[in-house]
A and B are shown apart, each in its own frame.
Chain A
Amino acid sequence: MTTFEAVIGLEVHAQLLTRSKLFCACSAEFGAPPNTHVCPVCAAFPGVLPVTNRQAVEFAIRAGLAAGSTIAPTSRWARKHYFYPDLPKAYQISMYEAPICIGGAVRFSDGGIDKQVRLVRIHLEEDAGKNIHDAQADASLVDLNRAGVPLLEIVSEPDLRSAAEAAAYLRALRSILQYLEVCDGNMEEGSFRCDANVSVRPAGSETLGTRAEIKNMNSFRSVERAIEHEIVRQIELVSSGGTVVQETRLWDADRDLTRSMRSKEFAHDYRYFPDPDLPPLVVDERWTEAVRRNLPELPAARRARFEKELGLPAYDAEVLTARRDVADYYEAALANHRNPKALANWVMESILRIVRERKLDERLRITRWPVAPGDLAELVALIDEATISGKIAKAVFDEMVATGKPPRTIVAERGLVQVTDGAAIGAAIDRVLGANPDKVAEYRAGKEKLFGFFVGQVMKATEGKANPQQVNELLKERLGAGA
């Protein structure tokens, strides 16, 4: 029986976070009432002309440089024609023969293994509006707010071999765009969209099989599931003597399958040609260099640094660097108290849990952190200097989140300072042992499991404030001495 290999390439559309649209001054913001961000230009009235948004071009350069693409000194806008009510000009201004970024690659980590996907190109284009069906019985409505919003199309080479790998690449790409602050990466709202070209071939073959293009995947989970299903469908088809048809298939998340988009089966002739309303787009070396100088450290480099310089495990480094704001937060805390691993645990387990629960990450940047990074650092410092125990620290953290007070204030107000006085701890131990003579006897007879019981009792007696290490040592001493 033949074994098959999947060949996958992704086309990603990332909505750019410019204030205005790609070719007019209308706001590009998401979520306004229908048709309120519309002017004669984006509604394609007679006589209007496009004017290129420089910020969008700069965002494209930023993305290209981050991926190591060549920034074309001259690129060209092209018109892509098709009739649809959400496309007012009946053509989309895009780039065709001369894209702004050529080549490049995206490095990503797939389950701890470093991989990379080569890029074919990155280009700019305008988004279409939105048709709203079923709102009225006999009419469709058109909302042009999104018409003309800038998009970055990022086309990968067919370098991916599994659905999981595709998802890992997609996450890495989104992370890069978020680091660059060019896209908020929200798949549900459609600001980060992905189409997949999937084909299969006998393992070891060099020729590409016929591909199907999968659309309508609006979550990472959908991307993974849809590609998985498509691979299985194609392998079953080919194995049973069938052939794959080059077509567009829609992912149906409810029914967990892809289905052919029959209405668009016949190939479109988009009649691309250079847009005569726009001169060639010229990006000189100075502009490119200025953008390059302002590039942030990218996730892959940051992840490597966290592993190497801070000694963090690969998993921690990956989680902490997935978002630039989280990594920034972590490093801000670290600047106040240098305990990389402890801070990593607190950020991953406590901070990100609250961020998720309270949905504080709805925007590109988390602006409302549960606690300030300096306060988190102070909390860890209090543990490290043995002022409080880890257990007390959890209570202090909850109160920090609730009140916004710094940890030292809470510890002082509530008298939570750890008891490190050996005499006081010893006295508590004596009380506990004195009250439990049977258990002491059992322990000394060999039932060592009871040690935990004694620790618990001592902590209870000291309201959790006793230094656990000292409790351990002194308990061992006393229990052993009486044997």
Chain B
Amino acid sequence: MRNRVCPSCPCDHGDKSESARLDRRDFLSKSLLAPAALLVVLEGKPADKAAAAEAPPPAAYDPTRHNYAMGIDPGKCIGCGRCVEACKTENDVPREPFYFRTWIERYVIQTDGETVVTSPNGGIGGFAPTTETGILRTFFVPKLCNQCTNPPCVQVCPVGATFTSQDGVVLVDGSYCIGCRYCIQACPYGARFLHPVTHTAEKCTFCYHRLVKGLVPACVEVCPTQARIFGDLKEQASPLSRFTRFNPIQVLKAHLNTEPKVYYANLDGEVR
């Protein structure tokens, strides 16, 4: 039996010789005190409350310790559109087919060299079977805000309502945005829209409200094939690090020097 337990480790630091000396008399006298002790516990001792208040708080979220990014493996995407649906639900994105924080594109490259790209309702509900003939190759590509390291949207915002957080996520302060739409024009990826009700700019936030709780973005959570890999660039050992280490990585529109943080594995040259 252990009468003193070290709070920090499972090992037994108790004085065994003392516990061995517990005789019948001691046992009975301590047993009589037990109900009284239980009552005190149930009542809640004021001294306990004070002790709880003095205890250090649970480790607070420290944004400086993270730099979030996402890996996407188009080879794994099956175009089910569950990520798009989850994003709309999680973030209250208007349901109309022209407001998206994330969407799926299907590329059909034909033998004659023509490329047909579609994204019906952003891919929600999946894609109808291809009707094209002479298909050379076809694949799906999830799209979202690229959380650029050099974000043009942040540069052009006249009031600084859109900004890069300390943990590397480009966010919009909806209470500050004046709705000039310059950021939407500046985004090379079509990742922003003006919310039709709030009249402020909207975009993917990597589900920031989930990140600070230690959760992954909703799209990543629901992806059945793990085509989306979420992670922290400051973490050496993570699925994202592994993903970027073992795949040839491309980013979208690299020539614009926006330095995206959404990394695509083995991306087809047709994708813009």
Q: Real complex partners, A and B?
A: no
A: residues with CB less than 8 A from B are none
B: residues with CB less than 8 A from A are none
